[in-house]
Amino acid sequence: MRLRGYFTPIVQYARTLRAISPVAQQRFEGSTMFTDTSLGQQLSSQCRRSIPWQRATPLIFSQHQCSAFHHHSVARDLAGKRQELAHSIHTCRCLNQEMGTVEGTTQGRILKGKEYTCIQAELLEGGAIGLITLDRPKALNALSEALMKEVLDALQTYDADPQVGAIVITGKDKAFAAGADIKEMKDKRFVDAYASRFVFHWNSISAIRKPIIAAVNGYALGGGCELAMLCDIVLAGEKAMFGQPELNLGTIPGIGGTQRLIREVGKSRAMEMILTGKHFMDAEEAAQKGLVSRVVPGSNDALLAEAISVGKQIAQQSKPVVALAKECVNAAYEIGLQEGIKKEQSLFYATFALEDQKEGMQAFIEKRKPDFKHK
């Protein structure tokens, strides 16, 4: 098998890892996952020397690195577990094929020492963009409790990271997300759902202050559509399909679908989608109605690249001003016009307390780019 050819250098790489430094070795031996950049760089140069295909595609390395970290226990006993390691290499190669055209991205399941199993979370563009990829493609990214916990955790991690200027959420293969996990919730009784406040915590997404961009391709149904609507900007791929099919299952949308869809597409269309459980909305119509901001032609890679590019543009703005603007726009959703205008006015006044407002206006007058300090 072709992968076997790569295995020897991986063994060397793992051995090298142990030899790098006592700190590295300690971390390697322990259960802590690796997120150390300098360690990553050392590993990177080791791997590039020994594995030719990584030279051409740094993304493979980065995923490979994460896989290798993920398999730190494997490396302790490489000889006995070749199969698993080969599998992780194979996985990273497949991922790279999907993501290969997006320059400068890295992928991984470990974010700031936390390991995820249902999503990939990684920092891109020098830490300015936090990417979350929903990663249960076999179940069309059905939103299990575990997946949503990880999404929230990654969102909160990015929100707390001062380097991050915008967050991108995307799906995989043919689905953004096909809704809440039906298999997981089918046996719930009213009392279970009520007592555990089932799905309630999903609403914490609306408390995230950093802008969230959804890159939606394929199915965004039920909870998947609601997740997209919880984001601040939705970009759609050509194959995006939005719908609220909950009534087909004998239930109703539970994460704000009945409230948000009507605001996006109007009462009549929202009623048609929700009450029939059919009449999904394709990307073109979603753009016409304003459910998404626009359709990005081309592949999933092109969509993701565009979402990252929008994120970069936002990340260049003053972070506190972005947060104030997001709060104001979202207020329009939640409160009446007069209250909303009052809120906007007070936050508008608040921007005059920022150094970034002084810098932004001075830069305009001096015909130069503003140098925001985010304060």
Identify whether 246 is a catalytic site residue: yes
Nearer to ligand CAA, 73 or 203 (CB): 203
Please report how many Cα atoms fall inside a 13 Å half-sphere around the Cα of residue 248, on the Cβ side: 13
Least distance (Å) from ligand CAA to the CB of residue 142? 3
Nearer to ligand CAA, 3 or 139 (CB): 139
For residues 77 and 90, give the distance between their C-alpha atoms in angstroms, rounded to a whole number: 19
Q: Tell me the CA distances in angstroms from 204 to 81, 209, 279, 309, 336, one per residue in order.
A: 41, 11, 29, 26, 21
Token representation of residue 94: 């497949």
Task: Check 68, 178, 180, 325 and give the catalytic one.
Answer: 180
Q: Which residues of 117-144 are buried (b: 16+ CB within 10 A; e: fewer)?
A: ebbbbbbbbeebbbbbbbbbeebbbbbb
Nearer to ligand CAA, 246 or 306 (CB): 246
Instruction: Calculate Rg over the CA atoms of the chain.
Output: 23
Please, what is the angle between helix 223-230 and helix 257-265, to 10°?
60
Nearer to ligand CAA, 140 or 270 (CB): 140
Q: What is the DSSP code string of 89-140?
A: HHHHHHHHHHHTTSTT----SEETTEE-SSEEEEEEGGGTEEEEEE--GGGT
Contact 235, 214 (CB under 8 A): yes
For β-strands 233-237 and 294-296, DSSP reports them as parallel
Task: Check 226, 237, 257, 306 and give the catalytic one.
Answer: 226
Least distance (Å) from ligand CAA to the CB of residue 249? 6
- Write the CB contacts of 297 (distance below 8 Å, at least 6 apart in sequence): 238
For residues 309 and 305, give the distance between their C-alpha atoms in angstroms, rounded to a whole number: 6
Nearer to ligand CAA, 223 or 237 (CB): 223
Nearer to ligand CAA, 40 or 137 (CB): 137
Least distance (Å) from ligand CAA to the CB of residue 311? 26
Residues that bind ligand CAA (CB under 6 A): 139-140, 142, 178-183, 199, 219, 221-223, 226, 245-246, 248-249, 253-255, 257
Identify whether 223 is a catalytic site residue: yes
Task: Check 179, 218, 222, 223 and give the catalytic one.
Answer: 223
What does residue 167 show for φ and ψ, rounded to 5 degrees? -120, 140
Sequence-distant contacts of 77-80: CB under 8 A, at least 24 apart: 78/11, 78/14
Least distance (Å) from ligand CAA to the CB of residue 255? 5
**C-alpha 62, offset from chain centre:** 17
Q: Nearest to residue 67, comparing CAs of 50, 46, 44, 92?
A: 92
Nearer to ligand CAA, 139 or 347 (CB): 139
Task: Check 122, 125, 150, 246 and give the catalytic one.
Answer: 246
Least distance (Å) from ligand CAA to the CB of residue 254? 4
Least distance (Å) from ligand CAA to the CB of residue 216? 13
Identify whether 363 is a catalytic site residue: no
Token representation of residue 4: 């076997």
For residues 315 and 30, give the distance between their C-alpha atoms in angstroms, rounded to a whole number: 36
Could you list the active site residues?
180, 223, 226, 246
